[in-house]
Structure 1
């Protein structure tokens, strides 16, 4: 079973966007383009991640494989349902 000590960062630019990295390697190997889009990483937590660890939006095995292959795992925000998008639009006319 693969286990890795991971540090998780959140993006100050986009809600619910997280970056998982190996704690020992840190952010040193992150591509510049990724960090420009992500913003200055804000530390959230450190987690011992194993393949059987349940995560909310990803399979732990996928996260571990991505960290092994590219040095990080980027968790994108969930897609918003179309009916929820109306909550983020400013009303153009009052309807009562």
Structure 2
């Protein structure tokens, strides 16, 4: 399954995967407004075996098939061990 990946220029580490290139009409207006301008990043084949950095390939494929898009949000601070204070500041 082909996916076209865009990053939000307003929200860091937030990406939208689209089933069809530039088909933002499938994304709800409230989400489009919150994300602001989007920049094309890449086109990729999402196969069941493909490992994605922050999303499950099966979930992405399911969302693309049913909704036409998949929204990838940044990890929460609780889930990201590098986001906390390590106590190394002098």
TM-score after normalising by structure 1: 0.76
Asked if 1:28 is matched to 2:25, the reply is yes
Question: Which of these two proteins has the greater Rg computed from alpha carbons?
Answer: 1
Work out the CA distance in 2 between the residues paired with 1:12 and 1:31: 17
Work out the CA distance in 1 between the residues paired with 2:65 and 2:24: 14
How has the CA–CA distance of structure 1 residues 78 and 29 changed in structure 2, closer, same or farther, with 3 Å as cutoff? same
Note the C-alpha offset of 1:71. Answer: 1.5
Q: How far does the alpha carbon of each residue in 1:9-63 deviate from its partner, in whole angstroms, 9 at most, with x for none?
A: 0011111100001125722322111100111111000001111111011110110
The equivalent residue for 2:65 is 68
The equivalent residue for 2:10 is 13
Work out the CA distance in 1 between the residues paired with 2:26 and 2:82: 39
The equivalent residue for 2:83 is 84
- How many equivalent pairs are there? 86
The equivalent residue for 2:35 is 38
CA RMSD of aligned residues (A): 2.4
| 8 Å contact kept, 1:7–1:26 | no
Q: Which runs of 4+ in 1 moved over 6 A?
A: none
